[in-house]
Chain A
């Protein structure tokens, strides 16, 4: 597609349930990023995938969070045993290196509400 696609756009889940968030990056983009934005907070980096390299997981807040990227394309962010503090908008971005410059394109996000 023309942009970064995320699904679902909204997700309401009960505390303790697992959720999966999906990101379809722009075709050909080698890098993929997950961020989250909690109410009233700035963007928080979660995880970064670049090609076939091991992902940079330094931003994941706990071991309940994990992410994978299948075949260098689609990525899934999984949150196990969700807690109310996990409620946030989860944003995915992809980027392409072009002439040494990097342009980022963000998806519209998944709004997660844990009740």
Chain B
């Protein structure tokens, strides 16, 4: 069983739709990261969360520590949001990182 599970694995949306990507984890964590990887490109760190909610532009990330669950929301989605979104957690006991396998998002004009 993976320490980090993401859903869905693949997601296709129409431009303008509200998108939610979910992440559940089974280990104790000190922080949770949402990463974005464009095809053929590097990886960008979108958010780091240890509690509550963060917002940056059209992106919103939330985390529920008790339920060991995080969500990444994209409002008014745009084709340039098409990418793989990866959830990663940092263990509370050390510097071990666990990664989800990613959610591939395609936004159609």
Q: Is the CB of B88 within 8 A of A43?
A: yes
Indicate which residue in A106, A107, A109 contacts B45 across the interface (CB closer than 8 Å). Answer: A106
- How does the 8 Å CB contact mask read for A76-105 relative to B, with 1 for contact and 0 for none? 000000000000000101000000011111
Q: Is the CB of A44 within 8 A of B48?
A: no
Report how many residues on chain B are interfacial, defined by Cβ distance under 8 Å.
20
Cβ of B92 to closest chain A Cβ, rounded Å = 14
Q: Is the CB of A41 within 8 A of B42?
A: no
- The interface residues of chain B lying within 8 Å CB-to-CB of A56 are 94-96
Q: Is the CB of A104 within 8 A of B33?
A: yes
Indicate which residue in B43, B48, B86 contacts A102 across the interface (CB closer than 8 Å). Answer: B48
Interface pairs (14), CB distance under 8 Å: A42-B100, A43-B88, A43-B97, A44-B99, A45-B99, A91-B43, A93-B43, A101-B48, A103-B45, A104-B33, A104-B45, A106-B42, A106-B44, A108-B41
Interface residues on A, range: 20 to 34
Q: Is there a chain A Cβ closer than 8 Å to B22's Cβ?
A: no
A113 to B83, CA, bound (A): 24
The secondary structure that dominates the A interface is strand
Question: How many residue pairs, one in A and one in B, have C-beta atoms under 8 Å apart?
Answer: 46
Contacts A43-B88, A45-B97, A56-B95 supplied; 7 other A-B pairs, CB < 8 Å: A45-B96, A45-B99, A56-B94, A101-B48, A102-B48, A103-B45, A106-B35
Q: Is the CB of A107 within 8 A of B99?
A: no
When C-beta atoms are compared, the residue in chain A nearest to B30 turns out to be A102
